Amino acid sequence: MTLNYEEKEMLYPDGTLMYCGGVKKNDFGHDIYDGKGTLFDQEGEILFEGEFVNHMKQGNGIMYLKGQIIYQGEFIQNKKQGNGILYKDGQVYYEGHFRNDLMEGYGVLYYEEDAIAPFKELRAQYPHLNQPQYEGDFIWNHMQGAGKLYYAPESPNAVELANGVTSLQYDGYFFEDMKHGKGKNYSRQGVLESEGQFKEDAMTGQGTLYYANGQASYIGELVNGEKHGRGDYFNEEGKIIYSGEFINGERLRITPEIEREIEKLQKQLDGLVGLPNAKKELHNLINFIKIQSLRVDHGLTSFPITYHLVFSGNPGTGKTTVARIIGQIYKHLGVLSSGHFVETDRAGLVAGYVGQTALKVQEVVNKAKGGVLFIDEAYSLINDKQDAFGKEAIDSLLKVMEDLRDDLVVIVAGYTELMEEFLLANPGFKSRFNHFVQIDNFSTDELYDIFAMLCKNNDYLYGDVFGYHMKEQLHQIPVESIPNFSNGRYIRNLFEKLVTIQSNRLIQQEDITREELMEFTEEDILLGIAESLFDNTF
């Protein structure tokens, strides 16, 4: 080997050439590599040729193994560091940046020779096919950070490849050699197939799937590349076909099992005393959703509607109970992902400091996401026109209702007249609430039915005489003319008072039977009448 500088040879103990090139003396008077030189193994094969400083590879150099080049590039203190090229079986495997002997920084990773061999002649003819396997960021020898992944140059249609079709497979973020983070997937033909969040090589999180024509086919949640969770499904013309829940790639369908669960909830609703308007409205919504599901089965668009509701009426009429049932029915119909129930009021939404109310609203909404947010006495959010905190709460609420319109149902409730004023206070409410349910006061007969149900549910009994006095007293109540009549709360208060009267009577006895513990007597109700019990619990 001819060297262009003065060299000095260093030998192995057996006399075999170990090194030739620049040297200098160290502090102990020994020769050490310094300058340009070549290092050999004991079989005479070159191990390294390049630059040395203080007996260490430093600067530019080339490493060999068994006569084949394995690295060419920069070194610092014996380690590959800086720009360089890594080889496998004599072919370029990686070119880019190194740090501490590892691929780190920006670089390009190439497919190994056996992956590209079938198209070697084709690649020589069409240089544009010489795409790498990966180009982008590396950390500790792993693809990590932003980068692009390419298909191997193998295809049943080599002519198609030769005509210039890109082989880009993925453009996005990586973690430990896997697609992880935001990215885009492409077909071999260069068509965008999907984009969104990836986790451990598969789309998981929010994402979009595409038809071959570039139109989105699905926008929503995915797990391991399949539609799973909340999402919107479109036809190839861009019309939305279905919006709701997906499970393992398929939209939620009303199976016989789900139908039975819905029927149970409907029976629970129908079993409530009174509430004809609420029952009718919910039956209408259930029928609407079922028909829209059938339309989707036939490839027809489903008509989107707003599922938010306004309940107006006096307290104690069962608004909260109905709202809970609605959440569960909406879950089984695919309108909501969980159907759970969160109740709040002004105190739960309005803070006492500017800027804090929006955060408070967001916190409550995050708890309610996927279910029903029930706001009782909603008009209390605005005390007057100068109520800046209440206005901030309403503005924040309207925004999240828009942002989460596909997985949140808001039900506002309160007295009829005040609810009408509340809805007029902000133009945004009218566009978001289009289901209004007037819940009227219970009739005196319905109040009696509620009392009978309370007795049954709590293991109390009464005879005909007690029942006669109860009906007679209830029929004397001018339900329609009493302002803000408390309805079911009135009956519950009445029930609790009668239980107390019964308890006071029984405690005087030495022995009390099971039957006596369960029974209301005529004496109990007559004492209640004498104490004006029916007048004092309005």
User: Which residue has better confidence, 245 or 456?
Assistant: 456
- pLDDT for position 286: 84
- pLDDT for position 125: 59
- pLDDT of 338 > 60? The answer is yes
Which residues, in sequence order, are CB contacts of 326 under 8 Å at separation 6+?
A: 282, 309, 372, 409, 411
Question: Mapping DSSP to helix (H, G, I), strand (E, B) and coil, where does residue 227 land?
Answer: strand
Give CA–CA dist 409/386, Å, rounded.
28
User: Which residue has better confidence, 111 or 530?
Assistant: 530
Give CA–CA dist 376/381, Å, rounded.
10
Give CA–CA dist 420/402, Å, rounded.
22
- pLDDT for position 317: 82
Summarize the confidence of residues 217-243 as an average pLDDT: 89
Q: pLDDT confidence of 3, banded at 50, 70, 90?
A: very low
Mean pLDDT of the chain: 85
DSSP 253: -
- pLDDT of 156 > 50? The answer is no
Are 525 and 464 in contact by the 8 Å Cβ rule? The answer is no
Model confidence over 105-147: pLDDT tens digits?
999 998 776 555 545 565 555 554 456 889 999 999 999 999 9
Model confidence over 55-94: pLDDT tens digits?
999 999 999 998 899 999 999 999 999 999 998 888 888 9
| Residue found under tokens 């932003």 | 146
Summarize the confidence of residues 348-363 as an average pLDDT: 82
| Backbone phi and psi for residue 160, each to the nearest 5 degrees, phi listed first | -65, -40
- pLDDT of 35 > 50? The answer is yes
Model confidence over 248-288: pLDDT tens digits?
888 877 778 888 888 898 888 888 888 888 888 888 888 88
- pLDDT for position 2: 42
Q: Where are the beta strands (DSSP E) in 235-277?
A: 240-247, 250-251
User: Which residue has better confidence, 104 or 291?
Assistant: 104
Q: pLDDT confidence of 164, banded at 50, 70, 90?
A: very low
User: Which residue has better confidence, 305 or 183?
Assistant: 183
Residue 237's alpha-carbon distances to 4, 212, 240, 296, 321, in angstroms, are: 72, 12, 9, 15, 42
Nearest to 134 by CA among 150, 116, 158: 150
Summarize the confidence of residues 303-328 as an average pLDDT: 84
Question: Mapping DSSP to helix (H, G, I), strand (E, B) and coil, where does residue 299 land?
Answer: coil
Give CA–CA dist 20/35, Å, rounded.
11
Model confidence over 418-441: pLDDT tens digits?
888 888 777 777 778 878 888 888
Q: pLDDT confidence of 182, banded at 50, 70, 90?
A: very high
Summarize the confidence of residues 377-401 as an average pLDDT: 79
Q: Which two tokens stand for residue 6?
A: 């003065």
Give CA–CA dist 66/61, Å, rounded.
17
Of the listed ranges 156-160, 237-241, 371-375, 393-397, the least confidently predicted one is 156-160
- pLDDT for position 377: 85
- pLDDT of 452 > 80? The answer is yes
Q: pLDDT confidence of 330, banded at 50, 70, 90?
A: confident
Task: Name the region of 467 (left: φ>0; alpha: ψ -120 to 50; beta: rest).
Answer: alpha
Q: pTM surpassing 0.75?
A: no
